[in-house]
Chains A and B, each alone.
Chain A
Amino acid sequence: MDVRQPELAMHESMELHELLNFKTVCLAKSKMMQGLVFDQDLRALMQKDVEQSLQDIGELQSLYSQAPIQ
């Protein structure tokens, strides 16, 4: 099924690019820093951020796939 997705605006694509990269770095950090943290409550919150970020990145990726820059 070849339904053409509506394309995003150029500047919108740039914002998505910035957000996607930001979230990616945050995800990696929250995942890694869990190994350095002693406090288990803080660790649980970092894990929550990891799960939230995975979902956010998935949503951003599907929007970004409509960017007119490919």
Chain B
Amino acid sequence: MNQDYLDPINSEGMPDMANSFLALDFLLSVKTGVRNYAFALSETATPEVRSVLRAQLDRAISLHEELSQLMIDKGWLHPVDTGKQYQLDVKSAETTAQIARMKLFPDDTSRLGTFATPDY
């Protein structure tokens, strides 16, 4: 990967990378949600709060099942095949680190004057 982020060679395999990256981000959010609901549920004192949180926890668990299954089917997650998962982990960490070392944005990103914010 060279430093020119406009070079088409760098876009090879990009859609699938983006898909699996965004799916993983989504999965981590869903997992965090399940944990957060379980913690909150163990602090409830009012029946109404308890039943609402419990119903929402159930939905979060169902969403986790659906999403992890989708990721397994698409080959973005390998919970059983540790060898494959290891390869994927190393590759995505390496690629992301390479992208992160690129200069993607101009030095000044304030963009003042391009929005209708005269009082800012």
Given the complex, which residues of A lie within 8 Å of B6, measured CB to CB?
Answer: none
Residue of A whose beta carbon sits closest to that of B50: A12
A20 to chain B, nearest CB (A): 10
A24 to chain B, nearest CB (A): 12
Q: How far is the CA of A16 from the CA of B36 in the complex (A)?
A: 10
- Interface of B, secondary structure class, is helix
Q: How far is the CA of A53 from the CA of B20 in the complex (A)?
A: 22
User: Interface residue count for B (Cβ, 8 Å)?
Assistant: 31
Q: Are B33 and A63 touching (Cβ within 8 A)?
A: no
Given the complex, which residues of A lie within 8 Å of B52, measured CB to CB?
Answer: 59-60, 63
Q: How far is the CA of A63 from the CA of B25 in the complex (A)?
A: 29
Given the complex, which residues of A lie within 8 Å of B44, measured CB to CB?
Answer: 12, 15
Pairs across A and B, CB under 8 Å, 9 listed:
A9-B46, A12-B44, A19-B53, A29-B25, A42-B22, A48-B66, A49-B30, A60-B52, A60-B56
Given the complex, which residues of B lie within 8 Å of A42, measured CB to CB?
Answer: 19, 22-23, 26, 70, 74
Q: Are A16 and B19 touching (Cβ within 8 A)?
A: no
Beyond A42-B70, A45-B70, whether A30 also contacts B26 by CB under 8 A is yes
Residue of A whose beta carbon sits closest to that of B73: A41
Q: Are B19 and A39 touching (Cβ within 8 A)?
A: yes
Q: Are B40 and A19 touching (Cβ within 8 A)?
A: yes
Beyond A26-B29, A56-B56, A60-B52, whether A12 also contacts B46 by CB under 8 A is yes
